[in-house]
Amino acid sequence: MRTVTVVGAGLAGCEAAWQLVQRGIPVRLVEMKPLKKSPAHQMDSFAELVCSNSLRSDRLQNAVGLLKEEMRVLGSLIMEAAEHARVPAGGALAVDRQAFSGFITEKLKSHPLITVVEEEVTEIPESPVIIATGPLTSDALSEAVARLPGISTLNFYDAAAPIVTRESLDMNKVFRQSRYDRGDDYLNCPMDREEYERFVQELVNAETAPIHGFEEKHVFEGCMPVESMAKRGMQTLAFGPLKAAGLKDPRTGKMPYAVVQLRQDDAANTLVNLVGFQTRLKFPEQKRVFGMIPGLENAEFVRYGVMHRNTFLNSPGFLNERFEMLERPMTYFAGQMTGVEGYVESAGSGLVAGLSLAMQLLEKDIVTFPRTTALGALSHYVAAANRNFQPMNVTFGLMESAPEGIRKKDQRQEYIVNRALETVKEIKMSIG
């Protein structure tokens, strides 16, 4: 059996490698860490979660929740690791970063069909190959990708939120509660109107770190820096990441004017991250301005927020709906570099690429996920003609809609979910 080279041991590369070896196909997994790291990476292990520790909603009423369930049905390593490393986060799936990454690293390094090679790849390897180096692809490999036939690349900017120690919080001001009585997995820093407006004023006037080529229009909306959102208007944050809807301060019995939520970041519950606080403020400014948040006056920062440039492919016309190059058979791309946005979406693309390549090598019928599934909706988005192609999270809007006769929203979503899971289970049976 031919060996597949998988370049990059992020979420997409790890998932692709797992799908291949589960079908008896040997993998040469090439990762440049720990020899070389991008500015955003800190750990030496595989599948590092660079930005948030949240994999977002785990409810089937949400498209990313459906995507997770489809991946579970298909034996996803990323989903197995997420369950192993899960930490409380209400209706979301959040994980301990170290435990999550460590679980995946151990599984792959100990597998008899996987050979791990620690080196930087600077040229596209011969097929069969899956390039899953992510949006932080090294300059040398980016240049090699740019020379491929039919390619054009695009850039956007991404950001990570700060992390502080839990013990440094002033719990006399912070209360524990999730929105709409869905448990108590979040810590909340309440603000009255005066505190909120003073905070926003300081935030918009704070000094930001210069980033070469940075333009607001090139920031992915889901990772917009908090100071950029604040500049859109005084109430933008109050109706965005600082919205107080569904929360009630137990000390006043009332809904605060605004709330900064903190989410558990590790299994030991010693660290929390500021939800929605991606930022490019200079480090001293983060400590000063975020220290104005009630309860964070003496917060100890273990990681400040950072911002970095990401690269993704203009995939329509370059990749097909299986993430395979149109002009170079058995050369696949996977992960955020293809134009899918988010941890789960990235891993999902790796699953599709790995499974598709496995079917080719085994000379079996190639699986193409239909748009009635979340996996298929993402892969078809990447391949479909689009004059303004941009990174995209999975949404029900990308999926084939329910029949017009089903009018109620909850019934339509239930139909879409059930149809998707039935389809994926049928695919699972067909591929074995």
β-bridge pairing 163-165 and 306-313? unpaired
| Nearest alpha-carbon partner for 369 in 398, 402, 333 | 398
Q: ω before 370 within 30° of 0 (cis)?
A: no
Please check whether residue 369 is in contact with residue 398, taking contact to mean a CB–CB distance below 8 angstroms: no
Q: Write out the H or E segment, with its range, that includes residue 302.
A: strand 301-303
pLDDT at 5: 98
CA 245 centroid distance within chain: 25
Dist. CA 355–CA 359, nearest whole Å: 6
Say which residue, 50 or 378, is predicted with more confidence. Answer: 378
> In which band, very low, low, confident or very high, does the pLDDT at 221 lie, cut at 50, 70 and 90?
low
Dist. CA 370–CA 10, nearest whole Å: 26
Dist. CA 162–CA 272, nearest whole Å: 9
- The b/e string for 348-372 (b: 16+ C-beta within 10 A; e otherwise) is bbbbbbbbbbbbbbeeeeebebbbb
When mean pLDDT is compared across 77-81, 116-120, 158-162, the lowest value belongs to 158-162
pLDDT at 218: 54
pLDDT at 31: 94
Dist. CA 205–CA 382, nearest whole Å: 38
Paired with 306 in beta bridges are 160
- Which residue bears the tokens 């790890």? 14
- Say yes or no to pLDDT of 212 above 70: no
Quickly list DSSP for 6-19.
EE--SHHHHHHHHH
Mean pLDDT of the chain, nearest integer: 90
Paired with 249 in beta bridges are 254
For residues 380-394, average pLDDT: 83
* Cross-sheet strand order for the sheet of 86-87: 54-57, 92-95, 86-87
Q: Write out the H or E segment, with its range, that includes residue 86.
A: strand 86-87
- Say yes or no to pLDDT of 220 above 80: no
| Nearest alpha-carbon partner for 360 in 328, 329, 317 | 329
Dist. CA 65–CA 54, nearest whole Å: 12
pLDDT at 150: 80
pLDDT at 119: 94
- The b/e string for 244-279 (b: 16+ C-beta within 10 A; e otherwise) is beebbbeeeeeebbbbbbbbbbbbeeebbbbbbbbb
pLDDT at 213: 53
Say which residue, 151 or 343, is predicted with more confidence. Answer: 343
Q: How many percent of the chain have pLDDT more than 90?
A: 66
pLDDT at 432: 74
- Say yes or no to pLDDT of 211 above 70: no
For residues 199-218, average pLDDT: 77
What's the pLDDT tens digit per position in 279-316?
A: 989 999 999 999 999 999 999 998 888 877 777 888 99
pLDDT at 34: 82
- Say yes or no to pLDDT of 219 above 60: no
pLDDT at 39: 60
Other C-beta atoms within 10 Å of 390: how many? 14
pLDDT at 310: 72
pLDDT at 238: 95
What's the pLDDT tens digit per position in 143-190?
A: 888 888 887 777 666 777 899 999 899 999 999 999 888 888 999 999
Please check whether residue 319 is in contact with residue 333, taking contact to mean a CB–CB distance below 8 angstroms: yes
For residues 105-126, average pLDDT: 96
> In which band, very low, low, confident or very high, does the pLDDT at 410 lie, cut at 50, 70 and 90?
confident
Please check whether residue 171 is in contact with residue 340, taking contact to mean a CB–CB distance below 8 angstroms: no
> In which band, very low, low, confident or very high, does the pLDDT at 240 lie, cut at 50, 70 and 90?
very high
For residues 4-9, average pLDDT: 97
pLDDT at 378: 94
Residue 84's contacts (CB-CB under 8 Å, 6 or more residues apart) are 99, 100, 103
Q: How many percent of the chain have pLDDT more than 70?
A: 94
Please check whether residue 370 is in contact with residue 31, taking contact to mean a CB–CB distance below 8 angstroms: no
- Say yes or no to pLDDT of 127 above 70: yes
In order of their start, the domains of the chain are 4-157+309-431 (3.50.50.60), 162-304 (2.40.30)
To the question of pTM greater than 0.85 for the whole model, the response is no
Paired with 160 in beta bridges are 306
